[in-house]
Amino acid sequence: MKLAAFCGQRPVFTVMVTLIAVILGLNSLDRLPIDLMPEVDYPTVRISASYEGAGPEEVESQVVERIENAVAPVAGVESIESTSAEGQGDVILSFAWGTDLDAAANDIRERIDRILPNLPDGVERPRLRFIDMSDRPVMVLGLASDLDPIELRRLAEDRVRDRLERIPGVGSVDIWGGLEREIEIAVDRGRLQAVGLALEDVRSALADADFEVAAGTREEGRHERGLRVPGRVTDLDTLATVVVGRGEDGARIRLADIAEVRDTHERETRRIRVDGVQGIRLGVRARTDANTVETARALRSEIEQLREDMPQIGLLVVRDTAVYIERSMANLGRTILFGGVLALLVMLVFMRDFRAAAVAGVAIPVSLVTTFTLVYFAGFTLNLMTLGGMALGVGLMVDNAIVVLESILARRERGMPAYRAAVEGTSEVAPAVTASTLTTLAIFLPLIFLEGLAGALFSQLAWVVGFALVASLLVAFTVVPMLAARLPQQRRRGPPRWYKRLEWGYRRLLSGALKQRGAVMVLAFSVVALAMALVPRLGTELMPDTDEGDLRISFEWEPGISLEFMDERMQHLEQQVLEHVPEVEHWDSSSGTGGFRAGGGHTSRIDMALVPLTERQRSTEEVADSLRREFANEVPGAEVRVRARGMRMMRGGAGADGEELSISVYGYQRETLDQIAKRIESLIEGVDGVTDVSFSMDDSSPEERLVIDRVRAADLNVPVSRIADTIEAAVAGARAGLYRAQGGEEVAIQVRLAQARQIEMEELLDLTVPSGDGEQIALRNVVDVVDGESPLTIERRDRQRVTTVVANIGERDLGSVVADVRDELAGLPLPRGYGWWIGGEYEEQAEALRQLTITLMLAVLLVYMVMASLYESLRNPFVVMFTVPFAGVGAVLMLWLTGTTINAQSFIGIIMLAGIVVNNGILIVDRANRSLRAGAPPRQAVLIAGRRRLRPVLMTSLTTGLALAPLAIGFGEGAEAQAPMARSVLGGLISGTLITLVVIPLVFTLMHRRRGGVVAGN
């Protein structure tokens, strides 16, 4: 081989080129960003619109439906989902994977701009938000202090958030909890009526008094002087003297005469406690292109500086996702190291020469380090997929070097000169080594073209492993022959005694199998059939759960419950939960509404960060099961759900609280939807593995509807909008301007009745509203009160109302649970126009497994086509392909024995098997063909091939398998994500190697028969 000959003659050149590649790789490694997973941009856009004071039905009809109709024609939209709640509406657009979201977002903005004039006046401009895997905060902080809660909130907004957002890599800082300052004008109802004014008069007067006008410029000689009319209220005493009207005698009525001016805070809707202390929670989100670990390190440094600069506050890191990432990467790095050491030990056992083993072993570090260059220039991150691909390929990287070195050493032992042995030994196995590498590479080609979530996750893995294999092939053809030619001549030593016995036993086994060829083949294919029958028992899921130590327990109270009641109950529940979870490191609790999602005002939750996995006896899922047993049906007045939050970011279709199972019921009438949903809820509660069942329209909130009589209002010349504004101002309050405090802080001024939340309905109806004629008309003359109920949220899908039944899955895989749920719901009677479908994570899982199945078939076909091209034969590749089904036997058995499901990770391992296990078959068939061409009969040819190729087959299989063993064990943080892939490959290698050594020779003899002294088909 010319390449091996050139490198053998130019050792310095070879070493320098190798060192250049290694130095570039090390430099790239130092610059690589670190993250948990590859960046996944879900093709999803959320449109949020705020309509303060509006109920869910008003939000649906006046805001959400209009937005849905406007954006429905956007190119690429696959589904439209929406949620309407009190004061908030969300519309979620799901696009086809590969859609240009920036262009789609521009189209959405244009279409929303067109309908803005048609939206109600109180609707804020709708906001667009992209949904991706990095949407979760990289760090959650707790802020507590003895300061006034209003001052603490201002400090968090003005100083803490500002300093954190200046850190490179930080995208935004969300603040939850605390109290926001407000200037309240508490109007006395009796005084208001006594002076003959309406609330609208007060609000209008205050709004007119809040102004600041630039009146132009005036020339004075050579100078120009600007004119400004300041009118902002900067003093509360001055605000109290604002004239809001005149009495019947013409006397001025000041604000202080009818109202009290209070420097207070907005109505508290959410209460936060961090480690038991009431305070504020901050969620720090990283930019999508940021290095999560580097950003977290910079955050930690800034937090320490904040503690020094502001000793009056306590700043606590509640959760830091970068810590889990760092531990996972470190654990995966150790796995690669252990795998490499085990591979080296295998070579030492077979070669019994440390220097020879080191020559082959040099392929591992050179290939690994060189691969970092590709990772860097391709724009990838160092994550569980890229680093996991390297861990998976450790054994593969040394296989080519082993085969080449084995061929060279065999010639050296027969007394051939070193340089000649290096060149001829490399040349002999070069076709087989190239073929085996190309077949393995062919496996990864379909992975690169995967679409959807599977493509986003595994394309980087395919590139990394593929590049590492190419690097190992180059090392095997350049560095290995060059170093092998310089190994000192050793005295010829025969194989060790244990290997002689193994070889003798294998020859007897193969000879016996050749005599009973038919029976052996029937037995082999029976084993394959039994393994295939075992596949349905494995179960399916999208991704394996990871133990990130992140746990949430949620409490859903009855609608309309007060924040004070929830907070009082939560203080007792927090202590009970902590008694059952000694593994807690930090925790925070929240009660009430908040966040960017619609709804949730009657819910509470406790989020817990557990100590690292190595420091506790129970997994996060075991802790969740314990809490579920302890608190389910044990909290009066609340529905309790517990969720171990691992890999939630991958489940774009999961419920709001991370539920895996989601059943949507569609139709038209809300009452009918509720009845069907309740029936589904009762049916699936008995399914094994289903926990925490609930549905979205389970509760309604009691309400009093003040229906305006439009005819009477018209007769009395009272505008309908003025009636609604008066009622809103009386209870909810109406904004009447801004108060400019010291330091430039602008505080909203709100006008409402004193003790508005405790007002009796009769007192409210006694309020007056000015007519167009200047008369004061009592509300009871134009308003009728009707008792009713309002849904807390209204959900829609594809512009049709739906009710969603959600549930968690415990101790079973999602695929098996869905199968049982389908059986339970198969006979459910439904009215015409109504139906149900299973969505959520299951939709993503079904699509991912469908694509992976197609990828597997394409990969097998590509492997065959590559071998056929290399051998210029259709028959020999067909013989080699018999290794694939026998490898599947071991993969299925390994998954079954370890309790591993068929998920995206294990499926990728099965796909990779198709390219890995054929390498052993290639070695045997290639050697058998050489014997055939030399004139040996087929039986003798396979016996020679088996004996000559037994050692390299065992060495390559053992190095690959043992290098995977630490990964397959799945010990340590982050290992659960890669363990299924490693287990399927390891199991397939074991069965593929053992069965291939016997079955492939049998198939070869069946396909090659002498006819008239000529080898048929050769």
How far apart are alpha carbons 278 and 590 in whole angstroms? Answer: 10
Please give the CATH topology (third level) of the domain spanning 547-654. Answer: Alpha-Beta Plaits (3.30.70)
Does 823 have pLDDT greater than 50? yes
Are 649 and 457 contacting, i.e. CB atoms less than 8 angstroms apart? no
Write down the pLDDT at residue 111. Answer: 92
Q: What is the CATH number of domain 35-132?
A: 3.30.70.1430
If pLDDT is split at 50, 70 and 90, which confidence band does 1014 have? very low
Does 1 have pLDDT greater than 80? no
> Tens digits of per-residue pLDDT, 966-977?
888 877 777 788
Does 1013 have pLDDT greater than 60? no
Pairing state of beta strands 88-95 and 77-85? antiparallel
User: Which CATH code of 1.20.120.420, 3.30.230.10, 3.50.50.60, 1.20.1640.10 fits the domain covering 495-537+873-1011?
Assistant: 1.20.1640.10
Please return the burial class of 234, using the count of CB atoms within 10 Å of its CB with bins 0-12, 13-18 and 19+. Answer: exposed
The size of the chain, in residues, is: 1018
Start-to-end Cα distance in the chain: 24
Write down the pLDDT at residue 874. Answer: 86
If pLDDT is split at 50, 70 and 90, which confidence band does 494 have? low
* CA-CA-CA-CA torsion sign (409, 415, 421, 425): negative
Average pLDDT of the segment spanning 1000-1010: 80
Does 460 have pLDDT greater than 50? yes
> Tens digits of per-residue pLDDT, 603-612?
888 999 898 8
How far apart are alpha carbons 799 and 65 in whole angstroms? Answer: 7
How far apart are alpha carbons 848 and 845 in whole angstroms? Answer: 5
Write down the pLDDT at residue 649. Answer: 43
Q: Among 152-156, 856-860, 944-948, whose mean pLDDT is lowest?
A: 944-948
Please return the burial class of 36, using the count of CB atoms within 10 Å of its CB with bins 0-12, 13-18 and 19+. Answer: buried
> Tens digits of per-residue pLDDT, 232-257?
777 888 888 888 888 777 788 888 88
Does 108 have pLDDT greater than 70? yes
Write down the pLDDT at residue 893. Answer: 92
Averaged pLDDT of the chain: 83
Listed in sequence order, the DSSP H helices in 651-801 are 670-684, 710-715, 720-731, 761-765
318-345 burial, b at 16+ Cβ within 10 Å, e below that, comes to: bbbbbbbbbbbbebbeebbebbbebbbe
> Tens digits of per-residue pLDDT, 297-356?
999 999 999 988 888 888 888 888 888 888 888 888 888 888 888 888 888 887 777 888
> Tens digits of per-residue pLDDT, 7-44?
888 889 988 999 999 999 999 988 888 888 887 777 88
Write down the pLDDT at residue 699. Answer: 59
Which has the closest alpha carbon to 656: 479, 793, 765, 849? 793
Does 287 have pLDDT greater than 90? no
How far apart are alpha carbons 751 and 186 in whole angstroms? Answer: 7
How far apart are alpha carbons 901 and 545 in whole angstroms? Answer: 11
Write down the pLDDT at residue 992. Answer: 85
Percent pLDDT > 90 in the chain is 6
Average pLDDT of the segment spanning 468-479: 89
User: Which CATH code of 3.40.50.300, 1.10.540.10, 3.40.50.280, 3.30.2090.10 fits the domain covering 198-257+702-791?
Assistant: 3.30.2090.10
Q: Strand pairing partners for 788? A: 703
Element (H, E) at 147: none
Q: Where in the chain are all domains bearing CATH 3.30.70.1430?
A: 35-132, 547-654
How far apart are alpha carbons 638 and 565 in whole angstroms? Answer: 12
DSSP readout, 351-376? H--HHHHHHHHTHHHHHHHHHHHHHH
If pLDDT is split at 50, 70 and 90, which confidence band does 657 have? low
Q: Among 409-413, 585-589, 858-862, whose mean pLDDT is lowest?
A: 409-413
Does 927 have pLDDT greater than 70? yes
DSSP readout, 858-927? HHHHHHHHHHHHHHT-SHHHHHHTTHHHHHHHHHHHHHHHTT--B-HHHHHHHHHHHHHTHHHHHHHHHH
Does 594 have pLDDT greater than 60? no
If pLDDT is split at 50, 70 and 90, which confidence band does 945 have? confident
Are 610 and 551 contacting, i.e. CB atoms less than 8 angstroms apart? yes
Write down the pLDDT at residue 135. Answer: 61
Write down the pLDDT at residue 658. Answer: 59
Q: What is the largest CA-CA distance in the chain?
A: 132
Which has the closest alpha carbon to 815: 896, 693, 909, 901? 901
Q: Among 96-105, 788-797, 802-811, 850-859, whose mean pLDDT is lowest?
A: 788-797
Average pLDDT of the segment spanning 66-72: 91
Please give the CATH topology (third level) of the domain spanning 1-31+352-490. Answer: Multidrug efflux transporter AcrB transmembrane fold (1.20.1640)
Write down the pLDDT at residue 78. Answer: 87
Does 651 have pLDDT greater than 50? no
> Tens digits of per-residue pLDDT, 523-578?
988 988 998 899 888 888 888 877 888 888 888 887 778 888 888 888 889 898 88
Coil vs helix vs strand at 467: helix
How far apart are alpha carbons 60 and 20 in whole angstroms? Answer: 63
According to DSSP, residue 63 is labeled I
Q: Where in the chain are all domains bearing CATH 1.20.1640.10?
A: 1-31+352-490, 495-537+873-1011
Write down the pLDDT at residue 437. Answer: 84
Write down the pLDDT at residue 385. Answer: 85
Which residues 6+ apart lie within 8 Å of 1003 measured at CB? 521, 879, 882
How far apart are alpha carbons 644 and 553 in whole angstroms? Answer: 9
How far apart are alpha carbons 153 and 146 in whole angstroms? Answer: 12
Residue 221's Cβ-side half-sphere holds a number of Cα atoms within 13 Å equal to 2
How far apart are alpha carbons 698 and 791 in whole angstroms? Answer: 9
Say which residue the tokens 């405090």 belong to. Answer: 741
If pLDDT is split at 50, 70 and 90, which confidence band does 700 have? low
Average pLDDT of the segment spanning 444-463: 82
Coil vs helix vs strand at 474: helix
> Tens digits of per-residue pLDDT, 129-151?
887 665 678 889 988 888 888 88
Element (H, E) at 587: strand 584-592
Percent pLDDT > 70 in the chain is 95
> Tens digits of per-residue pLDDT, 721-772?
888 888 888 888 888 888 887 767 788 888 888 888 788 888 888 888 888 8
Are 632 and 640 contacting, i.e. CB atoms less than 8 angstroms apart? yes
How far apart are alpha carbons 989 and 920 in whole angstroms? Answer: 10
